[in-house]
Each structure stands twice: as C-alpha cells, then as structure tokens.
Structure 1
Amino acid sequence: MLLIIGGSIWYALLPTRHKAIVKTEFLLRTGLVDNQWVVDNATQQYQMISPAFLIDGIYKSMEGPKASNYVQLSQDSTLLWITGFQVKALDSKTKKPISNDFICHTNVDFNDVNYFNNFHLQNRIGKQYPRMTSLSHGLEHFRFPKGYGVPMKGNDWLFVTTQSLNHNLPDANYLIKHEVTIEYHKADQRTKPLMSRTVFVQLPYDKNDPFKEPLDPASNQCVPVETKNHSYDDGNGNMLSGHWVIPSGKKTYRSSIDAQLQMKDSLRLHAAAIHVHPFATSITLFDKTTNQPIFTSKITNHKDKIGLSEIEPFSSEKGIWLYKTHQYDLVLETNNTTAIEQDMMGSMFLFFYDQELDDILKRP
C-alpha cells in the first residue's frame, strides 16, 4: 500500500512529458494496448505501423507518447537511395487515417560510425548529431528533388522515433498509431548523393536564473522550457537553448548557424525539411554577408485551433550555393495569438550535394 501511495505521488509530480513516457511504457510492457511494430517492405517503400499511443489529454509539442524502432531497408549490403519520408496518424483499431493533429514529430537517425565507415568517410564520424531528418506536424511528407537522394547500404541501421500530439482536445480518450514510410530505390548511376546538416535557432539564457522574467527587451535572451534537454554550451561558458517559450504577440528570433554548418568549402543546397512549433509564421535561411535571404519557408497555422496546417519545404534540382566565406543566420518569425506563453523551436534539415561521396560511389 505504501508503495502504491508513494508511486502515485511520484507520478503526480512528474511533468506531462515524463508522465507520457511512464504511461506508455506501462501500457506497452503489460500488453494492454497493441505493443508491436508492424512492418511491410514488399515494395520499394519501407512501411511500418507503430504500437498504440493512448491520447488521454493535452500533449503539447515534445510531450506526447512515443515509440522507437530500428530499421533495415534490406537484408544485404545493396546500395539503396532514400528519396522521401512520410508519416500518417491512424485509428488504432480500424487503421484508417485520422487527423494529422495527432502527429508531433518523426525523427530518422542513423549510426554515423557504420554509415561513414561503409563509404570510407571516417573523418566525418562524430562531427554532428547523426539525425538524417525529421517530419513534424505541418510537414508530414517530404521528398528530395528528382535525381537526388541519400545513399546507404540496405542492411545499415536507421533508428526511427515517432511521437504523438494533442493540442486541442482535453477530454480525448483515443488509441492511435503512426504509419511511417521511407521511400527508396536501388542503385542508379544518375542519382546524386545528398548529405544532411542540421541547423536550429539557439538563444542565450541566464544559467544562474534561467526562468526569471521579464527579460530585458534589448537583450537576445530567452526563457528555456527546461534546462536538461536542448541546452548547449557555446564554448565560452554561456548557455543556449533550442527550446524556449514565446510571449503573446509577434516576435522575431535570430541566431547564427555558422558553427552548425561546419562548412569547409562552398556547398550547393538542394532540399530542406523544416521543424517548428505552432505559432511560428515563417523561418528564413539568411545570408548575413549579402544581407539577403536564401529562402523563406512560409508556415500556415490552423485558424480555429492550435496547430500547423502546412510548413513549406525547400526543394530545388538546380540548387543554391552557400559559400564558406559567408555568414548565415536562421530567422524565425512567430505570432502567439493566445494569452499565455507557448513553447517554440526552429530547425532546418539542410541537404547539400555531396561531391566527395559522389566521387567515391563512381569509383570502379
């Protein structure tokens, strides 16, 4: 009885995100809900359906039940080209599509040690977080421009995590699933390889009193959602957050991405997948040197509820050059139309033509 009482108190004190983790783990381990990934790889699409997620209240971005699965596109080392990604929300029982408002994000990570060893690119290991891309609410499907893809050996591993969301239905009591699709095709001499670089808005905060408000309006500081996750040291002892709160009204946030780009030479950009939270209205890749935008992703919010209707991706067969000698920012515009603070992120998964890997793949 004491254990039950103590456990109940401990659970009640957890934040929503951690409650979702505990609840989901309990339901999956006990088998009270469908707890298996269902995989279909009969065509050149790797398609899988997640275990069931219980939506029993409001789950804001980054808070909902989630599950992860390891993926091999084939059982041998055949060279494959990944060309697109998609995620759908399904009713757990009927498997019919439901509102994508129940999709928070789907992350696709790779093992950088195995991946770069396979292509004799050991000098790239450990240089950045090995996330290939992410789909999220408002951008539930994404394809590379014609003639481009991310190459990988078929039996190399991907790690897929998909998380649920519910901004608007406090009395919800649903069991849902996510259907995740990875599109690919077999080796093609005409396909050109892409490499991914992840960039995101990072804002400084007071590490001694991170949640103090109001902030100095003349400063570039933010109030982080929390300091355990998405917090970074700038190398000089100052703390930065990639997940912060925004006040009511319109705001502009800007941060340098030069360190994240890690440009050793000029690169040609062909695609970009965008991740933002509700109340973002646009995000721009900005060339500080020329004082001109590279491109702007327009973001459409729902009109009658919280959520994102569409995030505009970037895709170009021709490509746009980014130069080593230039400096670049991400510029995020937001409009919080509610009377309370909301959480925010602003990220881009940028895909550049990989000349070095192309030369390796063309060797006899």
Structure 2
Amino acid sequence: MKSKILKYTLWFIVLLTIVGGIYYLKLPNRHKAIVKTKLYHGFGIVDGQWNIQSNDSSISLITPTLVIDNIYKSMEGPKVIRSFQLDDTKNELVWMTSFETKALSTNEVDQLSNDYICHTNIDLYEGEHYSRWQLNHRIGEQYPRLTSMSNGIESYAFPDGFGFPVFTNENLLLATQSLNHNITGDPFDIKHQVIIGYKPHEQAMKPLMSKTVFVMLPYDSENPFQGPTENNPNMCLPVETKNHSYKNENGESLSGHWVIFPGRDTYRYDITHQLQLKDSTTMHQIATHLHPFAERLAFRDKTADATLFVSEAENYTDKIGLKSVSYFSSTEGIMLYPDHKYELVLETNNTTTINQDMMASMFVFLYDKEMHDKLKAYKP
C-alpha cells in the first residue's frame, strides 16, 4: 500500500512539473522574471533580505538580490515590492524632500551602472494618509502614486521650501524594477538602493500634491494586436492588454504601453481629466518616465497654445538606453488653471529596424493649498 502511495505521489509530482513547465514557457518575459525572482528568494538561492537603515534625515532601503539572466526591456525585469515606514519608533510629522535610486553590487557598496534601473515607485496608502488629515474625499480620486524615479532620472529633489508631508510611522509602498537592454551571456546579480531624504516639520514649508499624467492611445478591443489600419490609422498596437489598459468616458480602449515602429513619430494626448484641477495652482516639479527612443515629452497648455515644459531625453548612440532625461524644478512655479485644457506631446525616433515599446508619463507636483490649510492648524 505504501509503495502505491509513493508511486502515485511521484507520478503526480512529475505531472505537476511538466504542466508547470509548459505554463512557465508560455509566460511573457515579465512574468517569467516574477516567477524566477520568487523562487530565487523563497529557496534561498540568492539573498532575499532587505537592508533598511534610517536616521533623522533619510532612510536607505537596499533590496534583495535581483538576478539578471536575460535581456529585460522596460517593465520586464526582476522586481521587488514591500511596504515600509520612515521610522516606526516615532509618530512625527516630517517632509519628504528628495529621492534617489542606485544600482549596487551585491556587496551593497560598489555602485553599478544606472542602466540596470528601470523604475522605482513610491505609493501612498491613501486611506491611512488622507484620513489623518480628514481629507477622505481624496481617497480613490486617482492612483495613489507619490513619485517615480526611472532610467534617465534616477534622483531629484524638490525646490527649497517645498516637500511632501508624511508621518514617520505612516505606511508607504516601494516597488523597484531592474532593467537590462544590452548585456547578454552569464547571469549576474545586482541590488537597488533607494534613498529618501526628509526634514523635520516646519511651518514655513509648503506642501506638494502629486498628479500622474501619461499618454494613452486607442486600440481595437476586439482585435487589439492588429495595430493601425487604413480604416483606423490612429489605432495603436498595445504591448499587452492586461496591464496599462484603460477605458475612456466613451468606453473606448486605451493603452499606456504601446509599440513604436521604426522611424520618427509624434503622439498627443489630452491630460486635462488626469490633472483634475479644481482651482488654479502652481506647478513646481515634474519627473518624467520615458522608454528608449523617446526624444522629448512636452507639457502644453492647449488653451493658451503654450509649451510649459519640455523634458529632453538623450539616448545612447552605441547601445539601447536613456543616458539622461531632463526634469522641471522651480520655486516660483508655473500657473495651471481649472478652465484650461492641457496635453502631452511625445516625439520618438526608433533608430532600429524592429518595433520597440514606449511609455510616456510625467509625475507632476502642484502646490496643495487644501493640505496647507490643514497644516496651519496642525499641533504636534
């Protein structure tokens, strides 16, 4: 009886392995990276621990090891996610003022190329954050992203006198993803170090709110991967339809992650509804997220027919990747108005002979008068 149980158990394991193997081989590169990373960390094949250290002015979060064993384009590489607090031993109001991501060797000392950084996202737990300030009406208004650092803009600081207010024991969410456009051969290991700078509460500080605006293009939901046609030349070819896919107010399908064909192209998208401006305010910071072969992304006031900021992207000439991406930072700021229309204009140049993928986003920081009024009444 025991031998039969053992036999059937072995056959079940073999069958499960075969089915699992077939399923894995059919996965896209991005999902394969997720599976492998979980296995590497779960079985202790590589270091799966976070190294988190904080002081009175910053927190450093060094990730578990990320194994680079393939070409990983933007949005495809191994990634890790975790919640964290600036300092769980205190309940103090502080101001986040700077953000930085580095690629490190596994010794957690030697810095590697920023070419291994895809993006690092920091999100709020909206319910926790806004309920502390009796701003519950903001919960669910937009995706709770605070900011993102990405290839080309791996670090930045808010202009003097501005910041984002959080409590030291408030929960935040960190997700950081690796990138490898060019290196083939034997696998190698990296880590990411994320450093967030902050300062004690001061009444003179002015709060910023984050708005995420991004280009979305239409596609045919019934036949999404046909791309543009003679009858529908404005349709895009989405990279996939499970992620970064949206519906507009008319029920039409839109993709924020699409294919660009060889050569130059220009894309426009109205972002007025993404900004959700209720009052006039000033814009003080913009961090841009682009993929290789983007050349510039412009933030335009359509009503005034004026370009407010252009983020310039410098691509490498000897390999695939972004060497640098410019960002906007201003103490004085630029006025935005609720009765104006705004748009993003993206210019690309795919210098290869094959299709490439594209995303174009801006993390826009606006003066937050409503939060400022709450802070004026705040008493520790």
Asked if 1:86 corresponds to 2:100, the answer is yes
Structure 1 segments unaligned to the other structure (5+ residues): none
Q: Deviations over 1:72-124 (max 9, x none)?
A: 11222211100011000011136310111111110000111111111111111
- Report SS of the residue matched to 2:55: strand
Aligned to 1:160: 174
Counterpart Cα distance in 1 of 2:194 and 2:231 = 42
Q: Which residues of 2 match residues 1-364 of structure 1 at below 5 A?
A: 1-75=14-88, 76-93=90-107, 95-216=109-230, 219-363=233-377
Structure possessing the higher radius of gyration over alpha carbons: 2
* Whole-angstrom distance in 2 between the partners of 1:361 and 1:43: 21
Distance 1:327 1:338, change over 3 A: same
| Residue 98 to residue 291, structure 1, CA distance change in 2 (3 Å) | same
CA RMSD of aligned residues (A): 1.3
Equivalent pair of 2:206/2:372 in contact (CA under 8 Å): yes
Letter in 1 for 2:63: S
Which deviates more from structure 2 when the two are superposed, residues 143-152 or residues 8-17?
A: 8-17
Please tell me whether the aligned partners of residues 64 and 191 of structure 2 are also in contact (alpha carbons under 8 angstroms). yes
Summarize the Cα distance change of 1:195–1:101 in structure 2 as closer, same or farther, 3 Å threshold.
Answer: same
SS at match of 2:225: coil
Q: So what's the TM-score if we normalise by structure 1?
A: 0.98
Does the aligned pair in 2 maintain the 1:215–1:222 contact within 8 Å?
no
Secondary structure of 1:84 counterpart: strand
Shift of 1:218: 7.4
Q: Secondary structure at the match of 1:211?
A: helix
User: Structure 1 CA distance, aligned partners of 2:231 and 2:331?
Assistant: 42
CA distance in 2, matches of 1:157, 1:59: 30
Given residue 193 of structure 2, which amino acid in structure 1 is its aligned partner? E
Taking the aligned partners of 2:231 and 2:165, their CA distance within structure 1 comes to 46
The 2-side partners of 1:243 and 1:196 are apart by 21
Gaps of 5+ in 2: 1-13
Kindly tell me the number of residue pairs found equivalent between the two proteins: 364
Letter in 2 for 1:158: L
Residue pair 1:151, 1:193 contacting (<8 A) in 2 also: yes
Q: Distance in 2 between matches of 1:247 and 1:94?
A: 39
* 8 A Cα contact 2:227 2:236, kept in partner: no
Please tell me whether the aligned partners of residues 201 and 242 of structure 1 are also in contact (alpha carbons under 8 angstroms). Answer: yes
Instruction: Report the residue type matching 1:316 in the other structure.
Output: S
Distance in 2, Cα, partners of 1:117 & 1:43: 25
Query: What TM-score comes out, normalization by structure 2 length?
Result: 0.94
> Which stretches of structure 1, 4 residues or more, deviate above 6 A after TM superposition?
none
